[in-house]
Structure 1
Amino acid sequence: MVVLVTGSSGQLGQSLQYLAPNYQEIQFVFCTSADLNITNIAQCHAVFKQYQPDYCINAAAYTAVDKAESEPEKAHIINVIGAKNIAEVCKAYNTVLLHISTDFVFNGTKKSPYTEEDIPNPTGVYGKTKWEGEIAVQQTWEKHFIVRTSWVYSQFGHNFMKTMLRLASERDTISVVNDQIGTPTNAVDLADALVQIILTDNRQTTTDNFGIYNFSNEGQCSWYDFAKKIFEINKTQIELKAIPTSSFPTPAQRPAYSVLDKSKIKNTFGLSIKNWDACL
């Protein structure tokens, strides 16, 4: 079974590479943006023709949330046009698509975990382009799994955990917002969940499981709680101050609450999901 991964130099791509040796039945093809630029449809066709993948994990995305506010065209080309291109070539080669999306498709005003049935209402360019990318996938190719996730971190790439540890080595005090609530997701756990979806789907002759799924680790916390736990586990001595979002303005508005309900993915694929602090 051939599984092609786009955006393989990102956190999720590197996490899949980390796990790949555990899955002997899968031949992974890892493509960086240099190997496969999803905004170039001709290149997409050429790569798919070469590898004939059974599955494609589209981990390529424009994820610079604040920068997207000043680069809306770039975010649109990657997150919308790129997603549509990948869906088109998946359709041409009968490749099942696993497309990664985000909690940022929601505005964060809900007070209980978001389900797959909740109507997206993004507040910023990043969330808007990711939602439009979801729509493009849905309209282009029926054999898709859209997986929404949140607060992704890992030992790879750039992320909140690494930023906190770096800042702690440079400063005596760090201020972190305590009024944005969500769930950190270890990218390795997300990668493993995607492989489980593929293995389950591959064992079925027909599937009616296609559609949208939420995946993050379990539990919830604020960014302040997340930082506190990072320092606690790492035995880092630092003065950590809790501040409201209003004290830390950013170009893009963050969802105040973006906890995702994982019932659907757990029930459909038999996943057991660990708590965020255990994974940290």
Structure 2
Amino acid sequence: MVVLVTGANGQLGQAIQSIVGKYPSIDFVFCTSAELDITNNENCKTIFETYKPQFCINAAAYTAVDKAESEPEKAVAINVTGAKNLAEVCKSHDTILLHVSTDFVFDGLATKPYSEEDLPNPTGVYGQTKLDGEKAIQQSWKKHYIVRTSWVYSQFANNFMKTMLRLASERDSLSVVSDQIGTPTNAVDLAEALLKIITSCHDESVRLSGVEVFGIYNFSNEGQCSWYDFAAEIFKVNNISIKLNPIPSSAYPTPAKRPAYSVLDKSKIKEVFGIEIKNWEESLKKF
């Protein structure tokens, strides 16, 4: 089995690379954006002709939420055109596509966890391009899994946890937003979930479960917290003493509006694929 992974140098791409030893029956092909530019259709065709993957994990994305407001063309190129290119080349090779999306497709006005059935309503360029990318895939190729996730962090690449640790080494106090609620997701847990989907694809019990297997799924760790709570736990786990101040979003204006509430309901992915999901605090301590 050949699994092609785009965005190999990104956070999720590196997380997948960290666990390949657990999957000796899979031949992984990791492509950086320099090796596989998903915005280039011909480049996509060449790579797929060379490796002929049975599965493609699209871990390539434009994720600079605030920067997207000032360079929407770049966000569209990667998150929409790139997703469409991959879906089309996957169709021509009968390759199953696993595409990672985001909680930012929602407006954050909900009062209970978002399910896959809830209507998206993005409030910024980043969320809109991710939603448009989902639609492009749905219109291009039926054999897809779109996995929406949230607040991804890890020991790899740039993320909130690493930013907090860096700032704590430079300052005596920090102010962190306390009125945005969501769920941190460890990139390695997300990587494991994607590979669980792949290894389950030929499982008869999954096919006969009566649930439409292809489609949209939510995945994050369990539980919920604010960014302030997340920061406090990061410092606690790392035995860092720092003065941490909770602030409202209004005190820290950003170019892109963040969802005030973006907790995801994981019932579907747990039911269909039997995935056991760790609580976010447990996963933070583990990694």
Name the TM-score, length of structure 1 as normaliser: 0.99
Query: CA offsets, 1:109-143, max 9 Å, x none?
Result: 00100000000000000000000000000000000
The 1:63/1:135 distance shift into structure 2, 3 A limit, reads same
Shift of 1:103: 0.1
After superposition, the CA RMSD in angstroms is 1.0
Shift of 1:205: 10
* Equivalent runs, 1:216-227 vs 2, <5 Å: 216-227=220-231
* Equivalent runs, 1:1-280 vs 2, <5 Å: 1-204=1-204, 207=207, 208-280=212-284
Letter in 2 for 1:166: R
Cα distance in 2 for residues equivalent to 1:188 and 1:125: 27
Cα distance in 1 for residues equivalent to 2:91 and 2:205: 18
Cα distance in 2 for residues equivalent to 1:216 and 1:159: 15
Query: CA offsets, 1:202-234, max 9 Å, x none?
Result: 334994400000000000000000000000000
**Which region of structure 1 is more displaced relative to structure 2, 203-212 or 123-132?**
203-212
Question: Identity rate of aligned residues, in percent?
Answer: 68
Letter in 1 for 2:141: W
Judge conservation of contact 2:200–2:206 (CA < 8 Å) in 1: no
Runs ≥4 residues deviating over 6 A: none
Query: CA offsets, 1:190-209, max 9 Å, x none?
Result: 00000000000033499440
Between the two proteins, the alignment pairs up a number of residues equal to: 280
Shift of 1:21: 1.0
Shift of 1:76: 0.4
Letter in 1 for 2:150: S
Cα distance in 2 for residues equivalent to 1:244 and 1:235: 26
Letter in 2 for 1:270: G
